[in-house]
Amino acid sequence: MKNSSIALPRLSGHESFSCRYAWLPKIVQELDIAQGSNRNLFKNSNLAMIRLGMGKNMVRSAKFWAEVSGIIAPTAENDGHQLTQFGTRLLGHEGHDPYLERQETLWLLHWKISTNQPPVFYWDQMLNFWHRQEFSLGEMLPILKRELPSSFKSSDRTLSDGFKVFLRTYVPTRGKKGEVLEDNLDCPLVEIDFIRTSGQRLDEHTGKQELLYSFNYEDKSEISDTLFAYCLNDYWANSAHTGDTLAFNFISSGKNSPGQIFKLPEQAVRARLEQLSQATDGAIDFMESNTVQQVTRIAQLDEETVLDNIYID
């Protein structure tokens, strides 16, 4: 692992809450085009608490998740927030999935959070620079502490709380039998089965048993060829690769690449690339020979059209 970006990562803002099911739909409803006057929603914490039905810390957390998932962005005048085109087309009142009911939507949100700029520290480190399948909290904390930019001052408790937010985003909580608490309400991304509990082991620092987690490195059928094409196009547009060709290894294992962010095996990446021309109506094609494995951009891809095509049954 290493410090990953010139831009300082986002270490805080989630207020130790993972994103909840209702948060993004509520925010979208408040900031929808039809209610443009609410652009200053997050400038007035009391208004936001009333409109969103949340406490102050949860409002801050909900704003954080809406920003890093690409659903909202500051206005051009920087006098408030507005829905992005992505947020409107995905979760707006005429959007494809306003209530987060489809797996494709959850994978798209995972993609946006994981590739957000500036990067979210725990996502950036775990998805781009941790290359083993298994990990534990005790194992990761000293590594994360080492990888913090030198300008950041963070306690072990803060790092632990932040890493637990990363885990709770993907791993279902398990309260006491029959117990239903606000802290046990899961994030919608637990449904994509991205991280699993895989056992226990002894923490060499504390001498106590701790949970062991593992990334799901299997193929993921919910990531359709079209969804993969959308994310590949997004990766290409936001990377340093400015030409009209892109090598297979960048797509499979480059920083913020679809293969890396989705934890897909190489054969699963290749299978989707083989369908790329069909998924993009010929705009991007994959060439594979004994000497070359690369995609070629033949025409610019219309991002909104590809996003719409993800939801065509």
Averaged pLDDT in 10-residue chunks for the chain of 313 residues:
66 95 94 69 90 94 97 87 94 94 97 97 97 95 93 89 97 61 73 96 82 97 97 95 94 97 98 96 93 94 94 85
CATH class label, 23-99? mainly alpha
Residue for token digits 């409109």?
A: 51
Report the distance separating Cα 59 and Cα 34, nearest Å: 22
The residues facing 288 across adjacent strands are 293
pLDDT for residue 180: 41
Pick the CATH number of 225-310 from 3.65.10.10, 3.30.1360.120, 1.10.10.10, 3.50.50.60: 1.10.10.10
DSSP tag of 216:
-
23-99 and 225-310: same fold? yes
pLDDT for residue 313: 66
At CA 232, angle to CA 227 and CA 237, rounded to 5? 130
Residue for token digits 């290359």?
A: 131
Report the distance separating Cα 23 and Cα 6, nearest Å: 31
pLDDT for residue 183: 47
pLDDT for residue 124: 97
Cβ atoms 40, 180 nearer than 8 A: no
In the chain, where are the structural domains located? 23-99, 121-215, 225-310
pLDDT for residue 62: 97
